Structures are given as C-alpha cells and as structure tokens.
Chain A
Amino acid sequence: MTCLPETTERQLGLAIDLDTCVGCNACVTSCKEWNTGGHMAPLTDLVPYGGDVDGVWFNRVHTYEQDDAMGGLTVHFPRSCLHCTEPACVTVCPTGASYKRASDGIELVDEDKCIGCKLCSWACPYGAREFDVDVGVMKKCTLCVDRIYNENLPEEDRVPACVAACPTSARHFGDFADPNSAVSRLAAERGGVELMPELGYRPSNRYLRPRERAEHEITIAAPPLQAVQAEGGFLGWVDRVLSR
C-alpha cells in the first residue's frame, strides 16, 4: 500500500559527516558489492567494459567547492536515499510496489509488483532511485535491510555496507525517531541539516556540514625566505661570510 504509515516505530537513517568524508568511494563500491547480491539484486551494469558504461548504483559521491569568507573548501558529498518521512516516491506509485515500512521507516520496492513506470524517480528530488533497464524495474537503497537484521552476521557488522566500509567513520547509522540515539545526538550537536527542506519531504538522513574553521589568516607552515636583518655577533659574522 502506497499510503504512508501515520507513525513509524523507528526511523532508521544515516548521519553523514561532510567534515571527515575524504571522497574515497569505499561506501560506493561496498554498497554495490553487497547489494548486487542482496535484496534488490542484481545492480545491473550495462556494457561494463565498453565505452558507454551505465549501471545501477544506490550511492554516488559528488565533489563540490564552496567559496566562503575563509577561502575555498572542497567538500565530498555522498548522495543516497534519505528515507524521507514524507516520501512522494512512495505515494505516487500506482501499483503498491513502493512502500514505507511502519516498523523502521525504510522505503523499499517490491520488484515483483513494479511495472517500471519510473514516476517514483521523477517524484524523488534527490535522485535516489535508479531504473534497471535490463530487469525493467526501479531500484533503490534498502539501508541494507538484509544486513542490519541479519543474525548470521556478527553484531558489529549489522550496519549498512556503506557504514561498515567507511575508513574515516564519516557515516553513522541509527534511529532518528529516538532523540537519545547516538545519531540523533550527533546530528543535534553538529547541527545536522536536511537536504532541500523547502520541498517538505522531511528526509531522515542528516548531513553534518564541515566544521567552522578558526578565524585567522590562512597560515603557511614555512614562512617565505626574506632578507635577514643585519646582525652583530657571531650570527652577523656568519651572515656576512655567507653573503660574499
């Protein structure tokens, strides 16, 4: 049913730290690796070794430059499904293939019901859904439902593949419905933001902006060579000898 649940018991999601993300794409490749054999498998790649490669990915890392008063800043920006509270991608679905789970707020696609009309991808402002031309259905991030509840995995591994892979711990997974959860507190401390809040989708994922930098001139570790003041004493004598 594509009507949204009135409330969800939990609202799982990610807090993504743009301050520590180094744009290494480990989250991208581990996502692809896990999910091409997981719930939404396969994540088809068309002509993977040809010139015109194209394929389904749930997570993509953009790189931006931000100009501010302190100069420029390079920001690596992972973009994936935000598991919104008001996801129009779910309500536009004519078949009931798209749904939001009342238990944990995760949005999923039932591949057996999807007719491949693509309307959900039009309704998503964030580009989270990608159509699999080969299978003819829409695919999207599952927040690794097949990992986070998987009792065959050690408990510490029951997190989304992207979170497990991140070498700088820039990705944090948890329940945003609980104000005392680690991710909720982290987002509150760091002033985590929603993307495009003006559209009213109320995303669950929060982005933590790069920390404010210290309010002083940009310093260079080695000061440039400059003329040495005429000095007396031993150093002055060395200076005179070397300057000959």
Chain B
Amino acid sequence: MKFLCVECDKQMAFEERQLPGDGTLAATFKCPKCGRVVAMLTNPMETQLVSSLGVEIGGRTVPEQPFETVRKMVSTGRDDAFDEGSEPRGHAAGPPSWSADAQERLARVPNFVRGMVKRIYADYARERGIAEITPAVMDTARAELGLEGM
C-alpha cells in the first residue's frame, strides 16, 4: 500500500501507526515536498485482515516472536501453554528488574501472551541500559515500538 500526494506527484512517507484499542487502526503518511499529512483509518475488519497475515503496517519494530500471531490473537488459549523459562543468557548486565507497579500492570496481561510481552519489554530495557522497568518505561516502549495492542 502506498500513498501519493497528487498535487506534488510525490510518494508520501509513512509517519506513525496507532491502534486505539477498538479494533481499528490509524496510520499517517506525510508528503516529503509539501508536508501534507493524511491518515489512513481502517475499520476492524480491514485491521483484522492485516493482523491475520502476521505483518505490521509501518514495518516491524521488534523481531517476530515465536507463535506471535497465535499468542496475540487466540482468545481460548490456556494459561499455562508456554513456559518462558529464565531470562536469555549472554547479557552481562543481567535482566532488568520490574517495579511493583509495572509487575501489577504486567499481571493484567492474559497469561497466554504475558511471557512474550514481558520478553519484549525486557529486551527494550536491556538494549537501552534501563535497570528497572516502570509503568513509564512501559508507556514509552509501547509508543516507540508500536505495542498498542499489548
């Protein structure tokens, strides 16, 4: 999918993606010449079609996780389907800690997908040298990585 600024005859560049949580998706594109920004708004059916392919509009911000589509989209998954084990090895700094508030927030994520979400946040913090994951760190990561659905 591409967007053309007809007036400038220029291909518009992807700017931002938002998932408001109601099943819809918003993506903005900007004309590199005149600066005009347009938003593409998809309805829940269109959004679902894209999700069902396991792809991300705007490109991937984190590597595809094992069973990502199944874990994000199956609503009847069992709580103890996956054993996430310990944190990945090979990181000298060790795993980041979780503040009490962040743990509480993480606990609200369904078990079926929680391990994957926890790993994504932990990787985000580790890569940026963040020692403790707090709700603020989670908010920043959500915005930066486009994790609105998690």
A and B together in one complex: no
Binding site for A on B (CB under 8 A): none
Binding site for B on A (CB under 8 A): none
